[in-house]
Structure 1
Amino acid sequence: MATAIVAGMLFYIKSFHKNWGITRIKSTIMTSGN
């Protein structure tokens, strides 16, 4: 179940920041998640 949540979060972030690469999205998720 966690994989689906993370994938959804990735695509949600990507929808707002279309020019961000996977590395930047991963960094954003890792630094802002608790």
Structure 2
Amino acid sequence: MSDTSMVNAVVVGMLSYIKTFHKDWGIARIKSAIMTSDN
């Protein structure tokens, strides 16, 4: 598995995890939350 493939799996997992708590959030809102997080 290449580094790019691994990153894709991590990002999809993170998106799915966030979506379980915020079902009404769209992709743009999730991206904003990830990009502005300091942790």
The alignment's TM-score, normalised by the length of structure 1, stands at 0.84
How is 1:1-34 mapped onto 2 (pairs within 5 angstroms)? 1-32=6-37
Structure 2 unaligned regions, length at least 5: 1-5
Q: What is the aligned residue count?
A: 34
Moved over 2 A (4+): none
State the structure with bigger RCO (CA 8 A, min sep 6), 1 or 2.
Answer: 1
Across the aligned residues of Structure 1 and Structure 2, the Cα RMSD in angstroms comes to: 1.4
Structure 1 unaligned regions, length at least 5: none
